[in-house]
Structure 1
Amino acid sequence: MAIVIIAVALYRVATGKPLLPCGSSDPVTLAADPSISEEIGQLVADAGDDGCMSIEVESTSTGAMLRRLADREELPDLWVPTSSVQSDRVSRDSQLPFETVLNSVASTPVVLAVKNGEPSVRSWTEALGTPGTIVDDVADSGVADGAMLAAAAEREKGLVSTEQVQQSLAVLAQGQRPSNEGLVDQLAKTGGVAVVTEQELAARGEQNEADGIHTQVPGTGANYLSYPLVVSAQDPGRRDDVRKAAQNLADKATDEEFANTLAESGFRTADRAPLDGEAGVGETERLVVRDSGVLDEAVREWRLMSMPTNSLALVDSSGSMGLEVPSLGTTRMGMMVQTLTRGVEYFSGSSALGLWAFNAADPTRTEPYVEIQPLGRLSGPSASGVQGTYRDDLVSGLASLPEHVGGATELYSTVLSAYRSVLDSYDPNAINTIMVFSDGANDAAETIGRDQFFAQLREMQDPQRPVKVVTIGVLDDVDPTVLAEIADATGGSSHISRTPEEIPQVFAAAIADRSTPT
């Protein structure tokens, strides 16, 4: 852990002032979020004129604080997290009382960094649900907290539904790809959208323009990081001295000198007044969540949704999938290829996906399906021998689906075969699922009956190796009853898209639902 020592004691010696008149030989420890630790260090140095005690400032994330608790390590005396939401979370998890001395040392809105040419984002829910959006680890980052709280505020205001927020979190969680670069540097190379702060972009100055990056705030507003000053010391013998040191810092934090320090680094003062000139985003509506527990719920959902998936996609390739969709100028299968190609981006590189096309077109075929791509880890090398990843193989396989259209829908036998396949390749560290995409019912002439199918499906199920079937029905002539029955029998979920426009949203909803516990 990086530690910045503010040697107030040396300053006392140099100026002839008393060394430690507060009656304590131990310095006060202050943990500050890495985004503001340097500015807090300057504040400590500026506030050292009362001759009280030395203060050591350490750069510490919320995740590091939680790890200290888990390891039963002593907490710092003072803490400056990014928001009261984080200090409340740590206090609640540890069941230790914290005391807020100053509600806000500084502030900055959470914003979007966007490469030139990217479209405007209307809401935080939309931003989080856009494939390719980059965000820090939710369990460790106040910036990620800010974005999730903004989406929750949109839900509280009735601008979006609970389901839409959950779908966005699922897309975001599954789509994250690890990188050793900072978010803005990563964005400059890959394009897309990144969740950052106004301060981070303001501090980069002209480099943003050179990288083709501009700032965006959704029309709904922004959540602000507030950086409270919190007493976290638990030793009763130290708390009075710690409070005095904290109050001294709180008094100094309102001075013009510290305001200038903040402005030089791109921070706003506690009153959230806009930065001077064109350095920031100006006046923005503040999004506030009334129910502070929503973040804990969202973080729990995030952790579950972030689990890799081991999933086999079954795509109906019966003759009806060759029908035209006039509004799109393509066939049903063409529509499905477009949706699933984009959907591949919803999954992290640690996920394993496979692709089958199923129909009863070829009576000489021993199986009711064609394996387009076997289960494989998306970040793994291409199986084709050319440069690229298995994700590229899957996209190529999707493009070939129109070649397999024809015949009737042999749903039952395909689901049973897929269930056996996923059980054989079961990954205990992933969510194991089968995703079925179909526009019809089980109408093949030579197939097992409904009762026999469900009997065999239930017989294969293993509580120690749960496999969910998630079904996605497409357009008006789909049979929702049988798809729902298959999903219910495995603890999965069923979704119906009645129009082409609904399909991407329904697919996102299916991703969210397949992440929920059985």
Structure 2
Amino acid sequence: MGRHSLPDEYGADAVAPRRRTRGRTVAIATALVLVVAGGTALAARSGLLSFGGTCDGRTVHLDIAASPDIAPALRDAADLARKNHLTSDGQCLDTRVQAGDSYKIADALRKGRKGTGDYEAWVPDSSLWIQRAGLGGNATPVTAVGNTASSPIGISMVPSAAKSMGWPAKKYTWAQLTGAAMEGDKLRLGTADPARSATGLLALTQLGASAKKSGPEGDTQAAAMAKALSQRTTDSDGRLTDTLARDSSGTEQGNPRRNQALILSEQSSYRYNATAGDKDGLELFYPKDGSPQLDYPFALVDEGVKSTDERRAALRFMTLLGEDAGVRILDKHGFRTDDEEPSDALVAGAGGRSPQPYAASESEPPTDKELQETLGMWTITVQSARITVVVDASASMANYVPGRNQSRMEVTKASMLQALATFTPEDEIGLWEFATLLDGNRDYRKLVPTERLGDRKSGGTQRDRLSEAFSGLRPVPGGATGLYDTTLAAYEEATSSYRNGKFNALVVVTDGANQDPGSISRSNLVSRLQSLADPQHPVPLIAIAVGPDADKDEVEQIAGATGGSGHQVSDPAEIHAVILKAIVEAGAKG
């Protein structure tokens, strides 16, 4: 998948998706002229703005950019307007609708690119893109004036998968549905990239909120789910349904590259089912902890340079979408025009059925902070990583863990192997071990160089070599904790081998304080780490203190010098969770 920089997109002034009903849309359509600059607002207040009359051969041209899912409905509305000689100030509307991915248009508007002012209005699938479009210093002005339709987001499944999950009678939370996708190939779940898809981002944010309600490890659970989802992600919404397995084909059902379930809007599921055969249609789960909404805002683009006729024409077209004829068009294309009373035919066409909570109130819109944290978590957790892991091999790692019939080293190895399984073939992972005088005069030994997990050498992959090396870790009899010299050497190598476009980090796991009297001092180490740390090329140190003999203050001070984080766990089995938690924290800082 593509890599993405951390977002500025959802700052303090971000606009969260808004709730709407048909009545609200009509009210906005009636009053929206009051927010339009110049002559349009004056005309509205004076009662001079007219949408009626005959066109007498005069025409006003209107160009609209729209999300690909709603563009066909807007084209039908434009055809209706031409057929019925719909007028704005006595001029017939000639409306042309061009489809474009919302994220691409938002980025173009944000950068003020040439051509972005060539359309009078824009209808993305979510208000998130309106906010994103307005953040650039050279941004083309965009003014949201109302909403045209809505569509809740859920999880659609091929019939065999839905049946195995107890559809339609059984209800699930977001965390439960996504968790089922992490149990081997029981349910292969796909999504569009949350950095490019409002559907993906809103669902992932809701998933995170759902996971947090399940217990104190909610952040870690959400990160693990995001990691699993990232391996079945498409670049855009338009390509997602192409990944589905045809339910009537046993060969496709068994194809691990094909998805059995997708995070989709209700409208996307409706559109897919409209052309799929009876055996290949999708069944739709509406999570019981709420469905986030796509809200399809209608926005004026660069209105300051548009003529009064063009601005009025754009507003007239929007009012058409709130009138009975426009509502019928939106309904026909699978959009909701009344959230309080969704059409039974629409829900059935999308694959919904009672007692699934399709008529329940949608979830609360996410806050700006939640959106930013979610996208930060996704970016850091999912982007290709370059991580060197340094594991303490001192003699004390042979001590048994209380309540377990295993040593610290045995439990540490199992936890590290669990963590290794969450990384993709594109990730670069390496392994060092350390104890005093482990390799001549050095306290550390490089066991596996930091390379791509999918790379093959001598018949095996880097993942195979790492698995073997982790399994082969043994405490060194008489070895003490040579923490300081090892940390400095590993950090020097990690910063000197920095990879652009990846999440670079150093993970150090130790069960004790530094015990090498010949090493540099802690203050010297901290100073050296600070001098090596480069904010433009960050390599956070994630230091994990294991057991009662480890010094939490020490690892926090050392890690803090790099912009990283220090953690203490009583049981090495927690290491995997701590690494994921640290990555989430790094994403939030970004």
TM range (shorter): 0.7 to 0.9
Higher mean Cα deviation, 477-486 or 405-414?
Answer: 405-414
The offset of 1:471, in angstroms, is 0.6
Give distance in 1, aligned partners of 2:411 and 2:108: 50
1:460-499 deviation per Cα after TM superposition (whole angstroms, max 9, x unaligned): 5567755432112234432212211211222221122234
1:472 aligns to what SS in structure 2? strand
Write out aligned runs for 1:106-255 (5 A).
Answer: 106-111=150-155, 122-123=173-174, 127=178, 134-151=190-207, 159=213, 168=222, 172=226, 176-177=230-231, 182-183=239-240, 186=243, 188=245, 189-190=256-257, 194-205=262-273, 215-232=284-301, 234=303, 235-237=306-308, 238-252=310-324, 255=327
Letter of the 2:579 counterpart: F
1:349-406 deviation per Cα after TM superposition (whole angstroms, max 9, x unaligned): 544221112224x656443223232011334x223434xx5344434433333x4665
* Contact 1:104 1:227 (8 Å CA) reproduced: yes
1:55-113 deviation per Cα after TM superposition (whole angstroms, max 9, x unaligned): 22222122121233222323422322222333344246537242424x24242324375
Q: What residue is the counterpart of 2:50 in the other structure?
A: none
* Contact 1:105 1:226 (8 Å CA) reproduced: yes
* Contact 1:226 1:270 (8 Å CA) reproduced: no
1:153-203 deviation per Cα after TM superposition (whole angstroms, max 9, x unaligned): 669xx8489995598469737973565794455475346975333443454
Q: 1:36 aligns with which of 70, 74, 82?
A: 70
Seen in structure 2, the aligned counterparts of structure 1 residues 345 and 87 have a Cα distance that, compared at 3 Å, is farther
Q: 1:376 aligns with which of 414, 439, 451?
A: 451
Write out aligned runs for 1:329-344 (5 A).
Answer: 330-344=406-420
Give distance in 2, aligned partners of 1:125 and 1:298: 18
Q: What residue is the counterpart of 1:23 in the other structure?
A: 58
Give distance in 1, aligned partners of 2:348 and 2:214: 33
Q: What residue is the counterpart of 1:6 in the other structure?
A: none
Give distance in 2, aligned partners of 1:496 and 1:85: 38
Letter of the 1:146 counterpart: L
Letter of the 1:67 counterpart: D
Structure 1 unmatched ranges of 5 or more: 1-17
* Contact 2:270 2:349 (8 Å CA) reproduced: no
The offset of 1:300, in angstroms, is 5.8
Matched, 1:83 2:126: yes
* Contact 1:313 1:355 (8 Å CA) reproduced: yes
Q: What residue is the counterpart of 1:359 in the other structure?
A: 435
Structure 2 unmatched ranges of 5 or more: 1-52, 86-91, 183-187, 246-255
* Contact 1:471 1:494 (8 Å CA) reproduced: yes
* Contact 1:311 1:354 (8 Å CA) reproduced: yes
Give distance in 2, aligned partners of 1:309 and 1:434: 11
Seen in structure 2, the aligned counterparts of structure 1 residues 97 and 211 have a Cα distance that, compared at 3 Å, is closer
Seen in structure 2, the aligned counterparts of structure 1 residues 290 and 106 have a Cα distance that, compared at 3 Å, is closer
Q: 1:497 aligns with which of 569, 577, 582?
A: 569
Give distance in 2, aligned partners of 1:463 and 1:85: 29
Q: 1:100 aligns with which of 134, 140, 145?
A: 145
Higher mean Cα deviation, 436-445 or 189-198?
Answer: 189-198
Give distance in 1, aligned partners of 2:281 and 2:400: 41
The offset of 1:240, in angstroms, is 0.9
1:409-455 deviation per Cα after TM superposition (whole angstroms, max 9, x unaligned): 22122112212222331334444321112222223576554455445
Seen in structure 2, the aligned counterparts of structure 1 residues 292 and 328 have a Cα distance that, compared at 3 Å, is same
1:434 aligns to what SS in structure 2? strand
1:90-149 deviation per Cα after TM superposition (whole angstroms, max 9, x unaligned): 246537242424x24242324375967799974459959997975323332121232244
Give distance in 2, aligned partners of 1:353 and 1:183: 30
The offset of 1:269, in angstroms, is 4.2
Letter of the 2:130 counterpart: S
Seen in structure 2, the aligned counterparts of structure 1 residues 310 and 256 have a Cα distance that, compared at 3 Å, is closer
CA RMSD of aligned residues (A): 4.4
Greater relative contact order, per chain length (Cα 8 Å cut-off, separation 6+): 2
2:365 aligns to what SS in structure 1? coil
Give distance in 2, aligned partners of 1:507 and 1:196: 30
Matched, 1:474 2:546: yes
Q: 2:459 aligns with which of 365, 376, 385?
A: 385
Matched, 1:74 2:149: no
Give distance in 1, aligned partners of 2:476 and 2:281: 44
The offset of 1:314, in angstroms, is 0.8
Q: TM-score, normalised by structure 2?
A: 0.68
Seen in structure 2, the aligned counterparts of structure 1 residues 140 and 423 have a Cα distance that, compared at 3 Å, is closer
Letter of the 1:24 counterpart: T
Write out aligned runs for 1:398-477 (5 A).
Answer: 398-401=470-473, 403=474, 406=477, 407-444=479-516, 447-451=519-523, 453-454=525-526, 456-458=528-530, 460=532, 466-477=538-549
Letter of the 1:145 counterpart: L
* Contact 1:221 1:287 (8 Å CA) reproduced: yes
The offset of 1:223, in angstroms, is 0.6
Matched, 1:60 2:135: no
Letter of the 1:427 counterpart: R
2:196 aligns to what SS in structure 1? coil
* Contact 1:19 1:53 (8 Å CA) reproduced: no
Higher mean Cα deviation, 197-206 or 222-231?
Answer: 197-206
